A and B are shown apart, each in its own frame.
Chain A
Amino acid sequence: MSLWDDIKALAEEVKAPLTGLSITDSYSRQPRVTIQYPDVRRPLSRRARWRHVLNRYENGLEKCIGCSLCAGACPANAIYVKAAENTAENRVSPGERYAEQYEINMIRCIFCGYCEEACPTQAIQLKDIYELADDERKDLIYTKEMMLTPAPEEE
């Protein structure tokens, strides 16, 4: 092998990393796709389906009437509703019936949104609240108090 051949081989060796670096360089000029979570958060689609909230009417009454239709529609059997009767002293929702206890087991929920679809009063909605991780199973059973939007006076 001649000296010339050696020089050519050396040039190849030097060129390879430079080519690589130039690709890196070209990408470094493109717009970034990663974000600095949790300091920066990606905006979600309006129809994103994450954790549920239980809505209220403007006058503060709960929309949920404790009808259990959401629980009936849920394919994962994740919802438990225990209903009770509204009284003059304790009016929670319009009409006769309200949910005394309302629980969703978020480990079971598959975020299909059927509950939202079944609800006759639009009381339950899946919103963009996606930070649901926890290391305690019990804490993943969301209670009514955890999901209810704050009452107007509490805001």
Chain B
Amino acid sequence: MAETITQAPETVNLTIDGKKVTVPKGTLLITAAFQAGADVPYFCHHPRLKPAGACRMCLVRIEKMAKLQTACTVPVSEGMVVDTLSPEVKQAQQGILEFLLINHPLDCPICDRGGECPLQNMTFQYGPGVTRFIDEKRHFPKPVPLNDYVSIDRERCIQCSRCTRFQAEIAGDGALAIESRGNSAVIAPFSLDGFQSHFSGNTVELCPVGALLSRPYRFQSRPWEFHSTDSVCSMCGVGCNIAVQTRTNQLMRVNSRLNEDVNEEWTCDTGKFEQYWVNSEERITTPMIRRASVLKPCSWDEALTAVAEAFSSAAKSSSNTVAGIGSTRTSNEEAYLFQRIFRTALGSNNIDHRMHDFPIRPMETSLAAIGEAKAIVAIGFDPKQYLPVVWLRIYKAISNGNATYAHVSSVDDPAVEAALAVGEGAILLTDDHIASADLDKLTKRAKSAGAKINVLLPDNNSWGAILMGVLPDRLPSLQPVGNGARPKFEALWGGPVPDKPGLATWDILKAGAAGDIRALYVLGSNPVASFPDRDLAASALEKIPFVVVQDLFLSESAQYANVFLPASSFIEKAGTFTNIEGRVQPFGAAIRPVGDSKPDWQILSELYARLGASAPFFGPADIAREIAHSADKNTFAGDRR
């Protein structure tokens, strides 16, 4: 029975620079050469892009072949003998570099790529040192904006086609193309409307020269001047791993960081270019207290004492008159501390973070599994807009596995039926706006078909807020407040926890508008702008006698605040976020808190001390330790690297 014999993966043996290597069949020669420890220079090759052979930098000598060959396009074959060091190869490398530099301006001192530029490095290592070209170089107008984020300096482009291949093969939009041929070849947007892509920033990182440039980062810093801190993107639920690069206590640039399970090596443009709000001049960085109906700057002590007094006196009369609305953007540690304060120091379960009711359902597959699906349907939302990096997985499935993909508005769309017919390997994606009835219906159908459903939540810590217990009826780890897990938390927190579910956001606002809430804590959220019924939110905040808003900016809700507490952004503190998959990812503090602002955890910890807690928390790690101790394994495991 031939088909039951497990076949060993086919391998190929070859010799590179006298060293024998064995690699899987189909491997590109350049990859085999790296495995053999050979140093083959290249520009256009990229392991995630299809071979192009565009830059000719990786020429090597292969025995029995008449001419030098590009290692990045030749698959290995049995018995190949390869030389990467011969004088002939050296001469070719020098020739190629001299050729690439013929039209290159070499304005490294003012080039944003200078210092981390592959062309600089290759020229230094393999280049000829002098040029024989003495004529006038090719000239183009210096950087031309392609869209809001990226501009191009066409003089510096070496036509490696990494950018065009990325847009076509990974982003799937083909937004860039090579225009003209030969000496006049330039990179240009495919569309007349410019570089229309959610992923244009990746080409800036891929470009081996300073041709594609980040506009916000332009001339902000040299690569050796900033400090790079490992962080996690704060803009959506995917939780792309990023490097936050800072100088003079300000954000300079966001680059992506490798994580094969989450974002591979990509980010979307929102993550790369839309986090400069941390540098905003409009941030409020001193605490403020309302005096004679205007918010006036005050000391931290004054502000926190006022908050502590208002909340403890309201809670003393009835713990039902205090409430808290948390956020999907604060860290796990902060969300945890927030609910702990409400449940123990104020004895109230009136705590929530949701702006509308939605089904709480973990993803049934991992993010990476989406890239291997056979049929994908996005129901009711556009992944490209909503969670852009999820789209890259979807496109991977489309381009690699020939998966079908549809983006539909209703669960009854025939495309859903067609995907379910595929059975195993079908993945249905939906967001938190799906109606529970629809989801139940879908679940039944998916279960019988063997398909998977992923309900994707929008924000960087939507899952964290849920799993940390910022819910009126759930303790951390989704434990219902009424059930047997409560005594465990009571023991840990050293006090009773109310066993009746509290008010959800909408009930808090209704009670507020009816005059039943005396003190409201708005932590990092903005109900007046994001609650669907804005009038209700506004009239509630208007009516509630004491509102404290903790935020970075004077939001719509802060207009109603009695006390405003200035919080620090995510790059000014350490902590963890939980992404849509439930993966807990740590981020580090890149800069000091701006002005007098304080990280949310610190504000909460100082408030907790004023409310009579025995032991304050001195850092996010203290809180994380307690969470790890209290939560069940699945809530706070994941990537704690």
For chain B residues 194-235, which have a beta carbon within 8 Å of chain A? 218-220, 222, 224-225
Contacts of B224 on A, CB cut-off 8 Å?
A: 72
Residue pair B110, A95 in contact (C-beta under 8 Å): yes
* A98 to B114 CA separation, bound complex (whole angstroms): 16
Contacts of A83 on B, CB cut-off 8 Å?
A: 219-220
* A66 to B109 CA separation, bound complex (whole angstroms): 8
| Known contacts A71-B225, A96-B142; A66/B107 CB under 8 A | no
Residue pair B107, A85 in contact (C-beta under 8 Å): no
Q: Is A125 an interface residue (CB 8 A)?
A: no
* A78 to B282 CA separation, bound complex (whole angstroms): 31
Interface residues on A, range: 10 to 19
Q: CB-nearest residue of chain B relative to A68?
A: B222
For chain B residues 369-407, which have a beta carbon within 8 Å of chain A? none
For chain B residues 142-172, which have a beta carbon within 8 Å of chain A? 142-143
Q: CB-nearest residue of chain A relative to B109?
A: A67
| Known contacts A71-B225, A72-B224; A85/B218 CB under 8 A | yes
Q: From residue B114, how far is it (CB to closest CB) to chain A in Å?
A: 8
Residue pair B219, A84 in contact (C-beta under 8 Å): yes
* A68 to B247 CA separation, bound complex (whole angstroms): 13
Contacts of B218 on A, CB cut-off 8 Å?
A: 85
Contacts of A67 on B, CB cut-off 8 Å?
A: 109-110, 114, 222
Q: Is A120 an interface residue (CB 8 A)?
A: yes
Q: Is A124 an interface residue (CB 8 A)?
A: no
Q: Choose one: B109, B219, B220, B225; the contact of A120 (CB below 8 Å).
A: B109
Q: From residue A69, how far is it (CB to closest CB) to chain B in Å?
A: 6
0/1 interface trace, chain B 113-138, chain A, CB 8 Å (1 if under)? 01100000000000000000000000
Q: From residue A138, how far is it (CB to closest CB) to chain B in Å?
A: 17
For chain A residues 38-69, which have a beta carbon within 8 Å of chain B? 65-69
* A97 to B109 CA separation, bound complex (whole angstroms): 9
Residue pair A97, B225 in contact (C-beta under 8 Å): no
* A84 to B221 CA separation, bound complex (whole angstroms): 10
* A133 to B218 CA separation, bound complex (whole angstroms): 38
Residue pair B219, A66 in contact (C-beta under 8 Å): yes
Residue pair B110, A97 in contact (C-beta under 8 Å): yes
Contacts of A71 on B, CB cut-off 8 Å?
A: 225
* A103 to B222 CA separation, bound complex (whole angstroms): 16
Q: From residue B222, how far is it (CB to closest CB) to chain A in Å?
A: 5
Residue pair A96, B110 in contact (C-beta under 8 Å): yes
| Known contacts A65-B109, A67-B109, A120-B109; A97/B219 CB under 8 A | yes
Q: CB-nearest residue of chain B relative to A93?
A: B110
Contacts of A95 on B, CB cut-off 8 Å?
A: 107, 110
Q: From residue A119, how far is it (CB to closest CB) to chain B in Å?
A: 9
Q: Choose one: A65, A72, A84; the contact of B222 (CB below 8 Å).
A: A72
Q: From residue A53, how far is it (CB to closest CB) to chain B in Å?
A: 20
Residue pair B225, A85 in contact (C-beta under 8 Å): no
Residues on B facing A (Cβ under 8 Å): 107, 109-110, 114-115, 142-143, 218-220, 222, 224-225
Closest 9 CB pairs of A and B: A67-B109, A97-B110, A83-B219, A68-B222, A120-B109, A97-B219, A65-B110, A96-B142, A72-B224
Residues on A facing B (Cβ under 8 Å): 65-69, 71-72, 83-85, 95-97, 120-121
A-B contact pairs, 30 of them (CB 8 A): A65-B109, A65-B110, A66-B110, A67-B109, A67-B110, A67-B114, A67-B222, A68-B222, A68-B225, A69-B109, A71-B225, A72-B115, A72-B222, A72-B224, A72-B225, A83-B219, A83-B220, A84-B219, A85-B218, A85-B219, A95-B107, A95-B110, A96-B110, A96-B142, A96-B143, A96-B219, A97-B110, A97-B219, A120-B109, A121-B109
